[in-house]
Amino acid sequence: MTTVLGCIADDFTGATDLAGLLARSGMPVSLRIGVPDAPPRDTAAFEVIALKSRTAPVAEALAQTRAALAWLRQAGAQRFFWKYCSTFDSTAEGNIGPVAEALMVELETDLTIYCPAFPENGRAIFMGNLFVGRQPLAESPMKDHPLTPMQDSNLMRLLEPQVTKPVGLVDRHTVVQGASALKTALARLRIGGVAHVVVDAVADSDLSVIAEACKDMPLMTGGSAVAMPLPGLYASDGLLTGAVQGQPRPALGQGTIVLSGSCSSMTNAQVAAYRALGAPSYQLDPVQLAQTGAQGALDWLAQQSQTSAPLIYATADPASVKAAQDHLGTARAGQIVEEALAACAVAARDRGVDRFIVAGGETSGAVTQALGVTRLNIGAEIAPGVPWTFCRSGGRDIALTLKSGNFGQEDFFSDAQSKLEQS
């Protein structure tokens, strides 16, 4: 099947978030882990390539993105979507802006939009400022993110240091007037030399307007929610032929493991709630891991029952995270945890575990790569933007959910297990 929309995501949880929302349409969605080595075949109408580039050096992120774009073009895509986190996770250097500009050059387009809003998950943009629930981004728990602390809520100010062309805004007063008004506003900004346009959205109806106005642009960028209306719009335009997803859930054995590397406030609450249920748990300490490695966690895991659904976590409060980073360095502290959780995932799989619940973008990337997963089929949603997925690892079928740190409710880990059994 010719690919209608080619999507590139900067981490694995974001990719599953996007794929899950697109799959709500019933249209075929394929999620690739990394840029495939082989030329496109057996492609879907919506192809999503998951990169691990959010915090990579800019040059590395650009190289990965260009390779992904080339593959998607070979698959037949003529419209593209650059997906990043709904909390605009980035540093002053990137990688949101540099990747967007590189894609614009490759696609020979002089304007794109930025809309990380996800109202269903409490992310809204008003007058260019991003809110997490009722809090401005810079006052939310994201201000303490261990890798990308967000200390400004204004998306234009965050974006300007990352790009070389002017940044502008279309506010909600224009968006609520409809797609035609939004198109006119974008055209005026283009004439004025603006290349990067932040677009306000506080409700799902705003996202529908934005998608309708921008559906024919060579490149859209944003969180997953602004892409959700696109399948229906493409179908109305005759670009899709009513294909259905039709991916049956594979038969699975027994055994679940929960692996949590995220230190977001929501994941801290989810870990606490799961432990309160009496689930066996083991906490990883980055400083101790640096001294003795992951063998202690692996030994503990080997003693757990296959049906106990144990939790192995490095989730901690901001003060503990900072202490570990001060001792080891930010990059090294994160790498040690990722390597340990990845090793635990492989050990669990080799023991027969076939249900994996993973929290945190960097952790999800490390675990997925360690399991040798290259393609995911999208299953039922557990929470908005968090689906179960199915894939092959170690020669057999497994179920895998990759949760962004701030997504889901407090009972997510137990709810995920119930949802899988009900599907």
With 0-12 / 13-18 / 19 or more C-beta atoms within 10 angstroms meaning exposed / middle / buried, residue 164 is exposed
Domain holding 386: CATH number?
3.40.980.20
Q: What is the mean pLDDT of the chain?
A: 94
For residues 297 and 381, membership in a common domain is answered with: yes
Flag whether pLDDT at 248 surpasses 70: no
Instruction: For residue range 261-285, list pLDDT tens digits in order.
Output: 999 999 999 999 999 999 999 999 9
* Residues present in the chain in total: 423
Instruction: For residue range 119-132, list pLDDT tens digits in order.
Output: 999 999 999 999 99
For residues 309 and 181, membership in a common domain is answered with: no
For residues 225 and 325, membership in a common domain is answered with: no
In a domain, 290, yes or no: yes
How does residue 244 score in pLDDT terms, banded at 50, 70 and 90?
Answer: low
Q: Which of 145-159, 220-234, 235-249, 346-360 has the lowest mean pLDDT?
A: 235-249
For residues 137 and 108, membership in a common domain is answered with: yes
For residues 185 and 82, membership in a common domain is answered with: yes
Give the whole-angstrom CA distance, residue 242 versus residue 161: 43
Flag whether pLDDT at 407 surpasses 60: yes
Instruction: For residue range 385-397, list pLDDT tens digits in order.
Output: 899 999 999 999 9
Q: Does 249 or 190 have the greater pLDDT score? A: 190
In a domain, 212, yes or no: yes
**Average pLDDT for residues 18-39, to the nearest whole number?**
92
In a domain, 312, yes or no: yes
For residues 107 and 37, membership in a common domain is answered with: yes
Cβ atoms within 10 Å, residue 217: 17
Q: Does 112 or 28 have the greater pLDDT score? A: 112
In a domain, 241, yes or no: no
**What pLDDT score does 250 carry?**
85
**What pLDDT score does 242 carry?**
57
In a domain, 250, yes or no: no
For residues 45 and 188, membership in a common domain is answered with: yes
For residues 204 and 325, membership in a common domain is answered with: no
The region, left, alpha or beta by phi > 0 then psi within -120 to 50, assigned to residue 355 is: beta
Q: Are 376 and 391 in contact (CB under 8 A)?
A: yes
For residues 207 and 98, membership in a common domain is answered with: yes
**Domain encompassing residue 35:** 5-236
**Average pLDDT for residues 219-234, to the nearest whole number?**
97
CA angle 76, 81, 83 (to 5 degrees): 140
Domain holding 20: CATH number?
3.40.50.10840
Q: Does 209 or 331 have the greater pLDDT score? A: 209
For residues 172 and 299, membership in a common domain is answered with: no
For residues 228 and 374, membership in a common domain is answered with: no
In a domain, 211, yes or no: yes
Flag whether pLDDT at 156 surpasses 70: yes
Count of domains forming the chain = 2
Coil, helix or strand at residue 271: helix
**What pLDDT score does 251 carry?**
84
Identify the domain boundary among 207, 236, 265: 236
For residues 262 and 337, membership in a common domain is answered with: yes
Q: Which of 193-202, 220-229, 376-385 has the lowest mean pLDDT?
A: 376-385
Q: What is the pTM of this model?
A: 0.86
